[in-house]
Amino acid sequence: MSGRSSGFLTPDSELQLSELIRTFGPTAAARIWGVATRGVDLIVTTAKRGRFDCDLEPQDSLFLGIGRSGAHQVMAEANARRPARAPRPAGRGSLGYRYRHYHADQLRSVNPGGYQAGVRYSGTYTFDPFRYCQGLKDDLAAKGVRIFERSPARRIRAGTVETPNGRVRAGQVIVCVDQPSRRLSPGASRKYYHALTYLALTEPLPEVAIRSLFPDGRLQRWDSQQVYDYYRLTRDNRLLLGGGSLLTTFAPRALRTPRIIARVIARFRRRFPALARVPFTRYWPGLIDITVDLLPIADRDPKDPLAWYVIGCAGLPWAAWCGDHLARRCLHQPTEDYDRFFGWDRPSPIPGPVLRILRKPAAFALGYFAAKHRRRPAAR
């Protein structure tokens, strides 16, 4: 999944900062946001230290509001960064994060396309995740790590990993697979589902098209729709555009039909008529693993305590942080306790019996909307 992804490197993922604050309160939200931020740092530091040839570059993020409700969402994101009580320097939020809030008329010079508002922040990057993964593999191999590609783990029990070619025994096993099957781990397979998204890519754009799209320099952008559209320029000036549809996001498998991405492209062309003739020459679907509350699991399986699992990472920084966190726990290095957020048996926004009755697509669709809209109970 990492190699197929779009290479936005930001702490934002399915849950934005304002949603984290609404659900967990500002202190806990800052801890969770800090984890995603450390995930970004881990990837950036690893790429820089290993000098990976992966097009890593700093690039600000811009969250764009569509219509009145989108403008409200943008305002909520700006407020999430704004001082709670004590006045702070302009552009710093309650959690101390820098941001810039644009109204529609200010936005036009930074981002045309008829959006109603935008919030921009830095500390984010773009990169080519496939080449990052290759760089990581080469780096590890050079350090003597043995890597077995095309060798699927079929079953993991009590420190033994079975593959078609043999078994491996280990004191502790860290499992970072996507879509763990029931055979591999019945417990892990119940914990995740997926969200279907699509990406499309153009040939390198001419300079004039780039200027019309990014008049104030390159930005990675996504919008406020429930199933959001997102786009950025690659290092070689191709436009990478992603999105999906409400109806197919929770489809049981990756549908290869071009119809969904064609609608995303049509929406994009309506906003940017100057690019109406630019052809998208390839597209691909991808499944993003998610848990029912949209935060990953990074914990040991209570039924098989030698196996540690990273499950349902909806974002590259989460995956990086979770792997690092579990490695530290296995090595008995000091780590903070994050079980309340990333533990195996943390409370779910959808009660267990409801989850068991519903099939996975319905249960996780419900979980998705509950996670994005739930509020923490008021303090008594």
The residue ranges that bind ligand FAD (CB under 6 A) are 1-2, 4-8, 152-153, 176-178, 184, 197, 199, 242, 286-288, 310, 313-317, 319
Taking a C-beta distance cutoff of 8 angstroms, is the pair 294, 14 a contact?
A: yes
Nearer to ligand FAD, 107 or 319 (CB): 319
Min dist CB 82 to ligand FAD, Å, is 25
Nearer to ligand FAD, 32 or 288 (CB): 288
Nearer to ligand FAD, 6 or 116 (CB): 6
Query: Token match 């008049």: residue?
Result: 215
Nearer to ligand FAD, 12 or 77 (CB): 12
Nearer to ligand FAD, 4 or 72 (CB): 4
Instruction: Give the dihedral of Cα atoms 169, 170, 175, 179; nearest 10 deg.
Output: 10
Min dist CB 261 to ligand FAD, Å, is 10
For residue 209, give the amino acid letter.
Answer: A
Shortest-Cβ-distance residue relative to ligand FAD? 286
Q: What residues contact 340, with CB distance under 8 A and at least 6 apart?
A: 28, 346
Min dist CB 357 to ligand FAD, Å, is 28
Nearer to ligand FAD, 71 or 286 (CB): 286
CA atoms of 159 and 69, how far apart (whole Å) = 50
- Among candidate residues 126, 123, 170, the one with its CA nearest the CA of residue 146: 170
Min dist CB 11 to ligand FAD, Å, is 9
Min dist CB 83 to ligand FAD, Å, is 29
Nearer to ligand FAD, 310 or 363 (CB): 310
CA atoms of 213 and 219, how far apart (whole Å) = 10
CA atoms of 318 and 313, how far apart (whole Å) = 6
> Strands 230-233 and 220-223, how do they pair?
antiparallel
Min dist CB 40 to ligand FAD, Å, is 9
> Hey, which residues does 163 pair with through a beta bridge?
166
Nearer to ligand FAD, 87 or 166 (CB): 166
**What does each C-alpha distance from 24 to 48, 76, 341 come to in angstroms?**
34, 15, 10
Taking a C-beta distance cutoff of 8 angstroms, is the pair 120, 100 a contact?
A: yes
Alpha-helix residue ranges (DSSP H) falling in 67-206: 67-80, 104-107, 129-142, 186-191
CA atoms of 68 and 60, how far apart (whole Å) = 24
Min dist CB 229 to ligand FAD, Å, is 12
Nearer to ligand FAD, 82 or 318 (CB): 318
Min dist CB 1 to ligand FAD, Å, is 3
CA atoms of 134 and 173, how far apart (whole Å) = 23
Min dist CB 130 to ligand FAD, Å, is 10
- Among candidate residues 217, 176, 198, 229, the one with its CA nearest the CA of residue 70: 229
Query: Which pair of structure tokens corresponds to residue 213?
Result: 């799209």
